[in-house]
Amino acid sequence: MEIDVLQQQCLACRRCGLCETRTNVVFGMGVPDAEVMFVGEGPGASEDEQGLPFVGRSGQLLNHYLEAIDLSRETNVYIANIVKCRPPQNRDPLPEESQACMPWLRQQFQCIRPKIVVCLGRVAAQQMMDPGFSISRDHGKFFEKQGTLFMATYHPAALLRYPVNKPAVFGDFVNLREKITQICEHTY
Ligand code: SF4
């Protein structure tokens, strides 16, 4: 299925209770055949308002890290979230909400077929990689799962609260750049 068709279907989704409080469904944005995909936990207030992922202050910070290694959502990456509708008060998505929404993300993977997936924050890492995943212990490490490489780093919103972790995230992005040069054919 084309990703545009999938997006149109997702925009009408009412599979979980988050549809009652959302302004917009935040499906995702970026290059449809990106080799690198970023996955966060869910939209915040700015994202809900605009219908686009990572467009608030944390999104601006993410853009800086992307630019530092020649990545951008306009040219070579795709960005999405575990849940496509904003959880009220920016709480973590409930397990049943993540479960209801994951089929959309799985279909996005099937359309995009990324070689590398970067999980932004604990919620995405635990959902995508391992329920016991610890960001502070395992950020920046690559794990292979069904032919795709997964890595996790701190969520940019957490970095705004705890800037002390910014150098660690920069290191993770340097690792990411190295991995891209090793296994991706078209990213740069
Ligand atoms: S969060 Fe996901 S499953 Fe729930 S209504 Fe929104 S798109 Fe549908």
Model pLDDT for residues 5-59, shown as the tens digit of each residue = 999 999 999 999 999 999 999 999 999 999 999 999 999 999 999 999 999 999 9
Confidence of residue 139 (pLDDT cuts 50, 70, 90): very high
Does the structure show a pLDDT above 90 at 84? yes
Q: Residue 24 and residue 128: Cα distance in Å, rounded?
A: 24
Nearest CA to ligand 1 atom 6: 85
Q: What is the reported pTM?
A: 0.97
Q: Are 3 and 112 in contact (CB under 8 A)?
A: yes
SS3 149: strand
Pocket test for ligand 1, best of 25, 86, 98 (most atoms within 8 A of CB): 25
Q: Residue 101 and residue 81: Cα distance in Å, rounded?
A: 10
Q: Residue 83 and residue 114: Cα distance in Å, rounded?
A: 19
**Cα 136 to middle of ligand 1, angstroms:** 29
